[in-house]
Amino acid sequence: MAMRIIFMGTPDYAAPSLEALHATGHEIVAVYSQPPRPAGRRGLEVLPSPVHRAAEALGIPVFTPKSLKNDDEQQAFRALDADAAVVVAYGLILPKAILDAPRLGAWNGHASLLPRWRGAAPIQRAIMAGDTQTGVMIMKMDEGLDTGAVALTETVEITPTMTTGELHDCLADVTAQLMVEAMARLQTEGLPVTPQSEDGVTYAAKISKAETRVDFTLAAQQVHDHVRGLAPAPGAWFELKTDDRAERIKLLATGEVDEASSGAAPGTVLDGKLTIACGTGTLRLLSLQKAGGKPLHAEDFLRGTPISAGTVIG
């Protein structure tokens, strides 16, 4: 017998989980998502979230409250008479009244190996920190920030060149598969949970605009991890000074990290292939993008924007 599930999610990361649960035959009685946001360069178009659009395509009613703290919203939630709530990257804090409403609790799919990288940006932070593995955990939610007891775990390797975009897509699929398994177990045999460890807690704060600028005084490996952790969005960037003006260049990929010191000042272009000196070691810039332009391989970029050896960027 299918369970009655309320699904709560917002970005494209969460859409595969909604679609997978629907495909297995569960009754998704409602979807909760963040309200539609302004979109486009001028913000003149208001678009529903990816999960909102996916729910509409499946014929599922969608609710987009700005908050779940008031009594009316909580009563409406309880009235749905759900067996379980499934939460994947929803973006709102769930009060205790919401967590307690479903008969079997609220279950979250989180993209890290908790307690490492609790919070909003676990995928980006794992790559930016140089982690070699991450994963997905299904936890029973409590009132803390990603502090709930864990039911299921799947570990995923982070390869040396993997970007946030690539890891995002991989973990979205893993989350969907693991959540389907979790709901099947919850329905038939119950889903035992284990409290999280108190050791190794880290927090994945949202990415700020200030930290997207590349700091070439860091070690080459750190710069490489920073760039791939921000690719493709929001994108790391540096300034290139030409003709007495500074142009912002988005940096989408780097490679050929060498730990040997070049002896040059950080940010110095060392050759015609965009090898750059860092605080320690060197690395090559592989993919770049000007404002309003398309991403270009370094060779193609240099044809339109020559950068001579000795130039300092940063």
Could you give the CA distance from residue 161 to residue 167 in angstroms, rounded to a whole number? 10
pLDDT in the model for residue 308: 93
The arithmetic mean of pLDDT across residues 182-186, rounded, is 97
Task: Note the pLDDT tens digit of each residue in 57-87.
Answer: 999 999 999 999 999 999 999 999 999 999 9
- Mean pLDDT taken over the chain: 96
Please give the annotated binding residues for (6S)-5,6,7,8-tetrahydrofolate, written as ranges: 112-115
What homologous superfamily is domain 209-304 in, according to CATH?
Formyl transferase, C-terminal domain (3.10.25.10)
Judge whether 4-203 and 209-304 match in fold.
no
User: Which whole-number Å values give the CA distances from 10 to 92, 134, 138, 198, 264, in the listed order?
Assistant: 10, 22, 17, 29, 46
Fold of 4-203: Rossmann fold (3.40.50)
pLDDT in the model for residue 37: 86
Contact 158, 116 (CB under 8 A): no
Q: What angle do CA 120, 126, 131 make, to 5 degrees?
A: 165
- What is the residue extent of each domain of the chain? 4-203, 209-304
Listed in sequence order, the residues at least 6 apart from 228 whose beta carbon sits closer than 8 Å to its beta carbon are 127, 161, 162, 163, 164, 253, 254
Task: Note the pLDDT tens digit of each residue in 112-133.
Answer: 999 999 999 999 999 999 999 9
Task: Note the pLDDT tens digit of each residue in 234-276.
Answer: 999 999 987 778 899 999 999 999 999 899 999 999 999 999 9
pLDDT in the model for residue 43: 64
Please give the annotated binding residues, written as ranges: 112-115
